[in-house]
Structure 1
Amino acid sequence: MDIFKTLSILLLAGLAASLPAVSPPTFGSSYHARGNLKLPYAELDEPFEFYFDANNSRSHINFYHGLDHIYTRGDMYKYGTTLKISPETVDTSGKACFQINGTADAPVVTPQNALPDLTGFKFVGAVELNGQKVNKWVNITKVYSRSSTYTFYTTSSEPIVPVQYVMMGYDSLLGSHYDKYIVEYTFFDDHTPLKESDFAVPEGMKCRSFPGPGVEHHIVMNPLQEIINPEKGDRYEQLFDEYKNQFGKNYEDKKEHTQRLSHFRQNVRYIHSKNRQNLSYRLSINHLADQHKDELGMITGRLNSHEPNNGKPFDTSTLRLRDVPDTIDWRIAGAVTQVKDQAVCGSCWSFGSTGTIEGAYFLKYGKRVRLSQQNLVDCSWAYGNNGCDGGEEWRAYDWIMKNGGLQGEEEYGAYIGQNGKCHFNESLVVAKIKDYTNVTSGNQTELKIAIATKGPVAVGIDASHLSFAFYADGVYFEKDCGNTPDDLDHAVLAVGYGNYKGQDYWLVKNSWSTYWGNDGYVLMSLKDNNCGVATDATFVDLK
């Protein structure tokens, strides 16, 4: 692979040398531009609009058609200022303003540009791009094992305007591409004078500084610096150092460190971009941020064999929705044990099944008990579960019923996050199951009744989206979530329901530690049975 990379570089250099010297294009010191920022590895396509005025040291960028605004004003205050105005994350009726003022040591003097510095770019020639004849400029830089190819395209005839800017990064240490982004320019005008209103900060807003130390808020305030101006340095590396310290991350060697930094950069870009979309929920950097999306699939583990189970149908003939409360949270009553971390083990099914049994135990005996997930991971293989390689809640119930019960965590031993040797002792069981019940698939009314009258309910969800991996707070609604049985790849525990600012939600306990979500919990939208919470829900009755 390196040979082909070297040959391509030499070919470009040779081609450039054979062409007459052509100076890079220049553009006006003020302009209005629109376009899209595309991050293929994060599956993002983010529209932007730019107003740039170098003569007065100011710029104004808005993302997602005006949802998120960033003003860089070197002409305000003694050392300049940067302001970010965004919708309040889970309150679409309000706006929040954040402000970082320049200092004597770090003045705000240079507004963010939408165009790269073309110093060092070489003219390659006229090519065709998306059916359009364009001029192509290339700059290749190499730092240690990294080779970064920057390509800038302009129209080939007057007026000369930018068309596209592409960065492709290759790391010979990894033997793969570590980064790619594309800036497409759909509109550019550096002739029409800009108006004062293009840079006017909305009046009457009370701005506040970002809470806490760290470099992340500087990235949030200017997310395009590393993309448009890589020569200014990589703040993501500093943020990665902070991340490693916060979560105690250590890597085997330089290769893994480089790989984790690459994943981290892409995930942070994704998190920040999603937060600019004015969603009903917010994402944040958590302990999973150095993982590739394929690795994140290893911390789910719910299977779907399409086999009929031995559960009973839910008889609601004597139960009515109007007889149950409008909101319920079984944590308050004491029916829910602490959040655990299933680690890199597809054992979510054991957490969902033990969670609903723990709830039933509390309702029957008034005591909270911590049951053993490891007992099920180690021992229910003969019933179709596969330990850390996945399983189904109902198969766990069948094993418990057949073997006389389930041991507690204290009796069986702590969860170890991997398959172990079964050492089940029936004389030490804590909970015994009489039978289990299937809530009618897709029936959200039944699920509410089940939670209200039977306690926490084991449910399957579609957790395959990056937005779920980095959920922090708010009511989670993912437009791409599936809700068919085949979409459900993760087992969790529905411990309540309610309404937040007009949005109905399920209160769901996850098993990815308290670093994830809101102390390990997520509010999941009821809208259209999003992510399939009501598709495959079960609860148990104890002996």
Structure 2
Amino acid sequence: MWLLLAGFVLLVCAADATPIGGRTVPDFGKMYHVKGELSLPYSDLKEPIEAWYDLDGNRSRIDYYNGTVQTFLIGNDLEYGAIYKITPVTTTTEIQAIKCFQLKGTQEDPIRPQAALPDLQGFEFEKMENHTGILCEVWKKDTQVGHKKNTYRLWVARPEGIDSLATPHHFEMMSFNTLLESQNDKYTIDYSDFSPQTEPDIFTPPGGMTCGEFPDPVEEHQILANPIQDYVNTSPVSHAHRLFGPFKEKFHRLYKNEKEHEERENYFIHTQRFVHSKNRAGLTYSVGINNFADWSKAELARMTGSLRIPKQE
């Protein structure tokens, strides 16, 4: 069935590929279910995700690692909404203990449904391109803050023609740092099984659990409660970037110049993503940020005496 559908997409898109003007920005609707795989090439990690989104119902749910971690964003709970995270926790006294954590919204920052797809405001049609056997529209957006220039692209198929419901196919972020004169960041999400509907009871957190507050540090609460936000948001400054300040203060970091600061921040971001993704995988151990979080892989390999240096930035 999918092969037939893929062929149909090719035929339809190819027929409409010549007149590229007048294309409408993809609209994925107010309700959907979608699966995906988040790839972090700098950390050699691939993380399965599954998302349910209901804008009118003011709720969403996103699972990580095939449901090992579940996050519920319920805008109608409590006064300003709440996020519930069901996750296995491993400590010195417990191994994979299933726990619930709650993050309450505030008047200044109420909880809203979290999309698993990027907001395409500001995106522009770039070209038609074949991606994994499907000819898709490519939509692009550039953003820049300081030395960081991020380019976001979303590959979209339209199974029933140019004005039909869009189907997300592939999302990519590539970052270029003008001070370092190099590409210093990249991640992708490959989407599948997109459907414009969900089951109502899918948004109900498991019953019978007492939900506590997220553990310290407070600065990590948002990224722990809503991990996908940093990846689909099209801003060069993410929650992970904002954690670099507390890290520098805690470990008394002073860098010799602006270039070194940019390099160390970049290493720190990749370490942050690795730590949080690993801890979502439900392993029998947990990892954390230490004073080596702003080191490169080559520096860490030399310190440990490793003969094999992993892929470097």
Task: Provide the TM-score with structure 2 as the length reference.
Answer: 0.86
Aligned position for 1:117: 119
- How much has 1:19 moved relative to structure 2? 4.1
- CA gap of 1:465–1:139, structure 2 versus 1, over 3 A, is closer
- Deviations 1:166-195 (CA, angstroms, capped at 9, x unpaired): 0100011111112101011011101x3x22
Equivalent positions of 1:187-336 (< 5 A) are: 187-190=193-196, 192=197, 194-231=198-235, 233-301=237-305
Contact 2:143 2:236 in 1 (8 A): no
Max Rg structure: 1
1:102 maps onto 2:108 in alignment: no
- The separation in 2 between residues aligned to 1:145 and 1:102, in whole angstroms, is 33
Contact 1:136 1:153 in 2 (8 A): yes
- The separation in 2 between residues aligned to 1:93 and 1:173, in whole angstroms, is 43
Equivalent positions of 1:40-59 (< 5 A) are: 40-59=41-60
Aligned position for 2:149: 147
- The separation in 2 between residues aligned to 1:130 and 1:162, in whole angstroms, is 13
Equivalent positions of 1:358-507 (< 5 A) are: none
Contact 1:214 1:239 in 2 (8 A): no
- The separation in 2 between residues aligned to 1:302 and 1:179, in whole angstroms, is 24
- The separation in 2 between residues aligned to 1:86 and 1:55, in whole angstroms, is 27
Contact 2:80 2:105 in 1 (8 A): yes
Point out where structure 1 has 5 or more consecutive residues left out of the alignment. 1-17, 304-461, 467-543
Contact 2:143 2:234 in 1 (8 A): no
- How much has 1:34 moved relative to structure 2? 0.4
| Equivalent position amino acid for 1:160 in 2 | A
- The separation in 1 between residues aligned to 2:43 and 2:210, in whole angstroms, is 33
- The separation in 2 between residues aligned to 1:145 and 1:93, in whole angstroms, is 41
1:175 to 155, 165, 181: 181
Once superposed, which parts of structure 1, at least 4 consecutive aligned residues long, lie more than 4 Å away? 90-93
Which secondary structure state, in structure 2, belongs to the residue aligned with residue 157 of structure 1? coil
Q: Comparing both structures, which one devotes a greater share of its residues to helix?
A: 1
- Deviations 1:290-332 (CA, angstroms, capped at 9, x unpaired): 11111101212378xxxxxxxxxxxxxxxxxxxxxxxxxxxxx
- How much has 1:232 moved relative to structure 2? 9.2
Which secondary structure state, in structure 2, belongs to the residue aligned with residue 107 of structure 1? coil
Q: CA RMSD in A?
A: 2.1
Contact 2:268 2:293 in 1 (8 A): yes
Aligned position for 1:536: none
Which secondary structure state, in structure 2, belongs to the residue aligned with residue 283 of structure 1? coil
Which secondary structure state, in structure 1, belongs to the residue aligned with residue 127 of structure 2? strand
Contact 1:34 1:48 in 2 (8 A): yes
- How much has 1:53 moved relative to structure 2? 0.7
| Equivalent position amino acid for 2:119 in 1 | D
- CA gap of 1:170–1:465, structure 2 versus 1, over 3 A, is closer
Contact 2:240 2:269 in 1 (8 A): yes
- How much has 1:94 moved relative to structure 2? 3.1
- Deviations 1:86-140 (CA, angstroms, capped at 9, x unpaired): 11226556311111111223221x2110111111211122211122211111112
- How much has 1:209 moved relative to structure 2? 0.4
- Deviations 1:391-449 (CA, angstroms, capped at 9, x unpaired): xxxxxxxxxxxxxxxxxxxxxxxxxxxxxxxxxxxxxxxxxxxxxxxxxxxxxxxxxxx
Point out where structure 2 has 5 or more consecutive residues left out of the alignment. 1-18
- The separation in 2 between residues aligned to 1:211 and 1:127, in whole angstroms, is 45
Contact 2:72 2:83 in 1 (8 A): yes
- How much has 1:281 moved relative to structure 2? 0.5
1:166 maps onto 2:172 in alignment: yes
- The separation in 2 between residues aligned to 1:23 and 1:302, in whole angstroms, is 52
Which secondary structure state, in structure 2, belongs to the residue aligned with residue 187 of structure 1? strand
Aligned position for 1:66: 67
- The separation in 1 between residues aligned to 2:64 and 2:133, in whole angstroms, is 27
- How much has 1:241 moved relative to structure 2? 0.3
Which secondary structure state, in structure 1, belongs to the residue aligned with residue 227 of structure 2? coil
